[in-house]
Amino acid sequence: MLGQYLPLLMLFGLAVLFAAGSFIASGLLAPRNPTYAKRAAYECGIVPTKETPERFPVKFFLVAMIFIVFDIEIIFFYPYALAYGSLGVFGLAMIMVFTFAVFESFVYLISNGALEWGPLKQVARPSGAVSPERTAESTIRRVGLENRPIAEETAA
């Protein structure tokens, strides 16, 4: 059994060697003249003035935490999937109870808005910007057409 891990170890070594070799080759072949602008953080040409924020939306942490709940569920699913034959109806009932418990907590999380992202549709807060009275005619001011005949009139 353990013999099957030998090739994995070999492949691991080969992959690490390949990556390291690439870096060494690149180090030998590539030019090296860094300037301040090259080494600055890339912000599409704007000179970065502020430090990179170390904080990001807490939603991402929530996702990571909810994932743990599901990962545990999956971890319990795998042994069940491999051994369900010998567990019979009892095993089925138990896995259903377990799934129900996890699903219930999942529903609770969703209900509390733990997985709410992004903007809501405009329906939520009708703004004055959207109204049937506003058309292209009423909102776009034609520039340079003052005192000039409109195309349709000239055609007629």
CA distances from 4 to 7, 11, 17, 134, 144 (A): 6, 12, 21, 71, 79
| Least distance between other proteins and beta carbon 133 (Å) | 22
Start-to-end C-alpha separation, the chain:
90
Please give the DSSP secondary-structure letter assigned to residue 3. Answer: G
Using CB under 8 A, which residues numbered 61 to 120 contact other proteins?
Answer: 63-64, 66-67, 70-71, 73-74, 77-78, 80-82, 84-85, 88-89, 91-92, 95-96, 99-100, 103, 106-108, 110-113, 115-120
Of 6 and 140, nearer to other proteins (C-beta) is: 6
SS3 state at 145? coil
Closest separation in Å from C-beta 141 to other proteins: 29
30 binds other proteins (CB under 8 A): yes
Q: Is the Cβ of residue 116 or residue 145 nearer to other proteins in the bound state?
A: 116
Q: Do 70 and 98 meet the contact criterion of CB atoms below 8 Å apart?
A: no
